[in-house]
């Protein structure tokens, strides 16, 4: 199997999960790369994608796994000549089996750009110093107050970007929801896309980049 890491940037942030799947399928047919198909009536390409990304979020660390006899570098090169704006394969390597990224992941790094420079960094840092950070969330139509503090692993400011690391996976905090919470409570505005930068798994209680964990 080949595991591919890809970006979803610029206009491609608006493509839905299934649309991305279809888009990869069309790219594969264009390039005529040999891949495994499902059996049965409605034959389709066997392509396994990582967790759906919220619409409107950019990412530099999405993954999919595919069964192909093609050399991984060649696979990436051919695919990259046939993908729309914003979608690029940045890594491709052999794996014995589908590593089930969704099951491995536990945290992700994000960045968001400040809309202007009229903000006080302390306003944000003060939030994290509170003993509990109560945010209203709507789950299955019911409003609840939840303490999100345990889901925030890190937060810092660098070159007009807010960088933050949130839990993702079984316990999860949505990056777009977190950013709107900051805007709601501090009035600080952001522009551009929130970008997911790295995906982590836990190794002996330490956050380790999925790529490092898989040895690539």
How many residues of this chain bind another protein (CB under 8 A)? 31
Q: Is 86 in the site for another protein (CB under 8 A)?
A: yes
Q: Helices in 32-174 by DSSP H: which ranges?
A: 72-80, 101-104, 121-129
Q: Judged by CB under 8 A, which of 80, 82, 98, 186 binds another protein? A: 82
Q: Is 4 helix (H, G, I), strand (E, B) or coil?
A: strand
Q: Which residue from 36, 38, 52, 55 is in contact with another protein, where contact means CB under 8 A?
A: 55
Among 4, 15, 53, 104, which residue interacts with another protein (rule: CB under 8 A)? 15
10 Å Cβ neighbour count for 86? 16
Q: Which of 56, 69, 103, 150 binds another protein (CB under 8 A)?
A: 56
Shortest distance in whole angstroms from residue 56 CB to another protein: 5
Smaller CB distance to another protein: residue 174 or 198?
174
117 binds another protein, rule: CB under 8 A: no
41 in contact with another protein (CB under 8 A): yes
Give the CA-trace dihedral at 43, 44, 48, 51, to 10 degrees: -120
Alpha carbons 132 and 119: distance in angstroms, whole number: 23
Cβ closest to another protein, residue 25 vs residue 157: 25
Which has the closest alpha carbon to 74: 33, 20, 24, 27?
33
Based on the shown chain and the rule CB under 8 A, indicate whether residue 19 belongs to the binding site for another protein: yes
CA distances from 214 to 57, 90, 137, 196, 201 (A): 25, 15, 34, 19, 10
By the 8 A CB rule, do 1 and 66 touch?
yes
191: contact with another protein by CB under 8 A: yes
Sites of contact with another protein (CB under 8 A): 10-16, 19, 22-23, 25-30, 32, 37, 41-43, 55-56, 82-86, 191-193
């Amino acid at each position: 199997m080949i595991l591919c890491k890809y970006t979803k940037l610029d206009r491609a942030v608006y493509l839905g999960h299934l649309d991305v799947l279809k888009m990869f399928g069309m790219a594969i047919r264009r390039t005529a790369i040999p891949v495994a198909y499902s059996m049965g009536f409605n034959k389709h390409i066997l392509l396994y994608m990582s967790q759906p990304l919220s619409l409107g979020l950019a990412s530099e660390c999405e993954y999919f796994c595919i069964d192909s006899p093609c050399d991984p570098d060649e696979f990436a090169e051919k695919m990259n000549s046939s993908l729309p704006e914003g979608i690029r394969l940045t890594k491709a390597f052999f794996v014995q089996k589908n590593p089930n990224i969704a099951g491995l992941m536990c945290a992700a790094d994000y960045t968001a750009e400040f809309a202007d420079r009229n903000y006080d960094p302390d306003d944000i840092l003060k939030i994290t110093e509170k003993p509990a950070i109560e945010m209203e969330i709507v789950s299955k139509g019911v409003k609840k107050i939840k303490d999100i503090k345990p889901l925030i692993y890190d937060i810092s400011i660098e070159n007009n970007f807010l960088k933050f690391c949130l839990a993702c996976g079984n316990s999860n905090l949505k990056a777009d929801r977190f950013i709107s919470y900051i805007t709601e409570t501090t009035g600080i505005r952001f522009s551009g896309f929130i970008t997911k930068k790295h995906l982590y798994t836990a190794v002996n209680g330490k956050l380790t980049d999925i790529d490092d964990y898989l040895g690539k």
